[in-house]
Structure 1
Amino acid sequence: MQIGMVTACYLPVVNGVTRMIELYKKYLTAAGHEVTVFTVGEPDEVSDEPDVIRTAGIAVGDTGYYLTIRYNRLARAKMREMDIIHCHHLLMSAEMARRYGRCPIVYTNHTRYDLYTGSHIPLPQAAADAVMRQLWPDLTDNCDVVITPSASVQDVMRAFGVRRPIEVIPNGIELTTFARPGSPHSKQDLGLPDDAIVFTYVGRLSVEKNLDRLVTQFALARDVDRRLHLLIIGGGPQAASLARMISEHDLQDSIHLHGQVHHDKIGNLLTAADAFVTASVTEVHPLTVIEALAAGLPVAAVASPGISDTVIPGRNGLLARQVSGLSAAIVALASQPERLAAMSAAAREDSRQYDIRRTVAQTLALYERLRSERPDLERRKEKILWRWQDRQPLVEQLARLLRPQD
């Protein structure tokens, strides 16, 4: 089968989406399929990885994302040869696949666009929701089936009016990388005391991850238990401001910024930790949480879609109802070593359902079904209009939401 992975960004950009595409490509190729990645990048960017076609685009700041209005000639021609196209972004992905593809199109929703819109654009959440109630259904109409990695986000997408069939296929990881890392680290390797209770966060350092709240909640927990340490692994636009915040609160001795680490090395670092913590409420089905479970780390987090599908309170972690309760969850895990050990064993056991081989098998079954049913033949008869006059109701609603109150 010729499979196209269409994405708004790809390696060397590091995030959960590019990691999933990398894994899909690896395991689908090993199963005998031909996988081509279609993406956008620098005009002179050349990929060392085979079967990656980059169309030149305009950089969106330093985000790693690029914009283009059309794919290059090679990408357009190659996309017409695909048996299945699998899109991984709502913008710069699904519409391109519909325009150039001649086969069924699958779209995986990796992002809480409703929450990201409010985080990254100065809009009230009500205005961001209005935007997504229009865009989410319209843009997913470019596809035949939507995949969501968690059932709770399936509910969110339905609430926002997505019309296409939605199937739940959980994200997967290479379990061995985290369950049995090649070079495990100890607390001493990281310069931490033997009696330290180490919580770790792994991920992008950006505003939607709620890292300022994480630092605040950890500081409250450490006031209760001075053995607590927080290891933050990752890079991103908030790295400098986070370092300043840690310094201003005199937390340099207990919160450690480890910086960006190659993905293959993260499992080694997790062996020095006792638990995982995140304050993010914008997740879909976070790979870093799954990786923590595979490493035997109970998770302290906030109950929210995506997280609640993965973390089972009292079994493999603890969930706070609000971010303000995260400090209590941290203290509760740190103060009960026997319970922590039991949760660690449960975390390893629960992670087995997220084996990437299982994810790929489920996705392949969907591909085969779509190749047989060919819903794209009916979809291609539909006319999708993208004229400003068709967006007048959205514009009027935004105007009402953004108008200053009298």
Structure 2
Amino acid sequence: MFTNTYCPIVGGVSESVKRLKSRLQALGHQVLVVAPKMTGQPRHESDVIRVAAVQHFNGSDFSLPVPIPGQLYEAIETFDPDIVHSHHPFLLGDTAARTAETYGLPLVFTHHTLYEHYTHYVPGDSPRMQRFAVALSTEYTHLCDAVIAPSESIRDLLRRRGANPAVHVVPSGVDTQRFSQGDGAGFRRRYKIPAKAYVVGHVGRLANEKNLPFLTEAIVQLLRKQPETHFLVVGEGDARPAMQRAATEASVVERFHFTGKLHGQTLIDAYHGMNVFAFASHSETQGMVLVEAMAAGLPVAAIDAPGVREVVEQGRNGWLLPSDDAGALCEVLAGMSEKASREMLRQGALNTAQGFDEACCAARCLDVYREVIATENTTHQHVDTDAWGRVRGRLEAEWQLLCHRGRVLRLVFQDKPESDLLAPSKTPETFRK
């Protein structure tokens, strides 16, 4: 598995990779993760290769990997994999494509992220950069034997954009049993939140793409309306100062509780310290925190968006709002302050979470692996074991990536409307030829 983000980074992709790896290993499979070196990473990781990386790229929490091919290929040859799984379409995603082509292995790619919502992290952010993000991730799918979409809406989006048609829906899993057990009362005492308070919670990176100004506006209205209500925010990021200012200006800042990043059982306890979960992001492919919240028995109020609508069902486990209407979200959350209203949705939330249990999701991912490996036996030519065979494979990999980047740039600089960018593209077979 190749990923640009991994522990100690806290985020959806990092958690997804870590949980899938652990579940596959529990089933008796061997997994090797290739990830960037990061400050604060675990000291001993027998199943992880760390590659050189530029720390805190562009002021973010992320590291920019700079792999050294020779050392990496030696480790991969020792591991002797059956399949390569890429979790990003660039950086170590390119290295994953090189590895698959060099050794004649099938390549699977999980489209975790709507990258066009994250271009503000790159210098020179512009509409063209967003087009580049769409083209890069879409065209990368054609280097792959199979693509995994975390939700039906992302699968449909990829198809509209002309991605590789071999798309399988496999959500990222959650250990639902573990998230069902937490000490909410103890967590409230620790953060001086009254035991009988109505607590609305949110978990995630406090970043621009999470639509937090809108969520803060709705919460401020709610706290003004209901003096006994508190807001519990788990996570850290650049949006935090603006949220605090808005709360201060509205004179409700003493009922905004920022915990920073939480991990392990402390994070689970935080979920259990909430009564409901509020979510406003439009940039999710699945929204794993929604499943975590539901596994803790929390009803969810969220904005109807890709990756969210597959989890939140109106009137069954929460409320799905059609648009960014702060007043409407405030009213929904106010209505959920009634215990009877929450209890009606609680069982639905628990039932929904069971469908996303990590054991079930890992089994579905294994099915994808088995399918592409079976196909690989007839469609791929394994690279010879001699030195020239390896060199030939690496040259072919570089040519494939060069052609891939050429197609991306052509799409970006054609100055065609967005509908043309999303038009169907060539098939994987054409690219291999």
TM-score range normalised by the length of the shorter chain: 0.7 to 0.9
Q: Which residue is equivalent to 2:345?
A: 343
> Which residue of structure 2 lines up, in the alignment, with residue 79 of structure 1?
76
Q: Give the 3 Å change call, closer, same or farther, for CA 187–100 of structure 1 in structure 2.
A: closer
State the 1:327 CA deviation. 1.8
Higher relative contact order (CA 8 A, sep 6+): 2
Partner Cα separation in structure 2 for residue 376 and residue 19 of structure 1: 33
Aligned counterpart in structure 1 of residue 21 of structure 2, from 14, 19, 25? 25
Note if 1:264 corresponds to 2:265.
yes
The aligned counterpart of 2:324 is 323
SS at match of 1:35: coil
Deviation at 1:255, TM superposition (A): 1.3
Kept after mapping to 2: 8 A contact 1:94/1:142: no
Contact 1:204–1:236 at 8 Å: present in 2 too? Answer: yes
Larger helix fraction of residues = 2
Distance in 2 separating the partners of 1:310 and 1:289: 7
**1:247-286 mapped onto 2 (5 Å cutoff):** 247-286=248-287
- Partner residue of 1:403? none
Name the counterpart of 1:159: 160
Which residues in structure 2 correspond to 1:133-144 (within 5 Å)?
133-144=134-145
Counting only pairs closer than 5 Å after superposition, residues 383-402 of structure 1 correspond to structure 2 as 383-384=400-401, 385-386=403-404, 391-397=409-415
Contact 1:94 1:140 survives alignment (8 Å): no
Please list, as runs of the form range in 1=range in 2, the aligned pairs for 1:48-63 lying within 5 A after superposition: 48-59=44-55, 60-63=57-60
Q: 1:376-387 alignment to 2 at 5 Å? A: 377=380, 383-384=400-401, 385-386=403-404
Output the TM-score relative to the length of structure 2: 0.83
- C-alpha contact 1:184 1:267 (8 A) present in aligned 2: no
Between the aligned partners of 2:407 and 2:346, the Cα distance in structure 1 is 56
Is the alpha carbon distance of 1:17 and 1:393 closer, same or farther for their aligned partners in structure 2, counting shifts above 3 Å? closer
Corresponding residue number in structure 2 for 1:362: 364
Deviates more, 1:96-105 or 1:386-395: 386-395
Once residues 170 and 141 of structure 2 are traced to their aligned partners in structure 1, the CA distance between those partners, rounded to angstroms, is 17
Could you tell me which amino acid in structure 2 is paired with residue 18 of structure 1?
A: S
Aligned mates of 1:388, 1:148 — CA distance in 2: 25
CA distance in 1, matches of 2:408, 2:221: 50
Deviation at 1:115, TM superposition (A): 2.4
2:224–2:252 CA contact under 8 A, matched in 1: no
Which residue is equivalent to 2:389? none
| Alpha-carbon distance in structure 2 between the residues aligned to 1:246 and 1:157 | 39
Q: 1:96 offset after TM fit, Å? A: 1.1
Deviation at 1:383, TM superposition (A): 4.2
Contact 1:187 1:194 in 2 (8 A): yes
Deviations 1:340-378 (A, max 9, x none): 111012111221111111111111121122111107728
Cα distance between partner residues in 2 of 1:121 and 1:399: 24
Give, in angstroms, the shift of residue 99 of structure 1.
0.7
| Aligned match for 2:354, one of 333, 344, 352 | 352
In 2, Cα distance between equivalents of 1:113 and 1:183: 35
Aligned to 2:214: 213
Q: Which residue of 1 aligns with 2:4?
A: 8
Report the CA distance shift for 1:230/1:376 in structure 2 as closer, same or farther (over 3 A): farther
Residue type at the aligned position of 2:255: S
Letter in 1 for 2:350: R
Structure 1 stretch displaced more, 297-306 or 185-194: 185-194
Q: Is the 8 A contact 2:159 2:165 kept in 1?
A: no
Q: Percent identity over the alignment?
A: 26
Distance 1:245 1:87 in 2: 40
Q: Match for residue 404 of structure 1? A: none
TM-score with structure 1 setting the length: 0.88
In the alignment, the residues of structure 2 paired with residue 395 and residue 360 of structure 1 have an alpha-carbon distance, to the nearest angstrom, of 39
Query: What is the letter of the counterpart of residue 44 of structure 2?
Result: D
Report SS of the residue matched to 1:170: coil
d(CA) in 1 for partners of 2:405, 2:253:
53
Amino acid in the other structure paired with 1:8: N
User: What SS class does the counterpart of residue 268 from structure 2 fall into?
Assistant: helix
Paired with 2:40 and 2:172, the residues of 1 have a C-alpha distance of 33
Separation of aligned partners in 2, 1:352 and 1:387: 41
Aligned residues: 394
What is the CA distance between 1:398 and its match in structure 2? 8.3
Letter in 1 for 2:258: L
Distance in 1 of aligned mates of 2:313 and 2:344: 13
Taking a change above 3 Å as real, the CA distance of residues 48 and 120 of structure 1, as seen in their structure-2 partners, is: same
Equivalent-residue separation in structure 2 for 1:293 and 1:43 (angstroms): 32
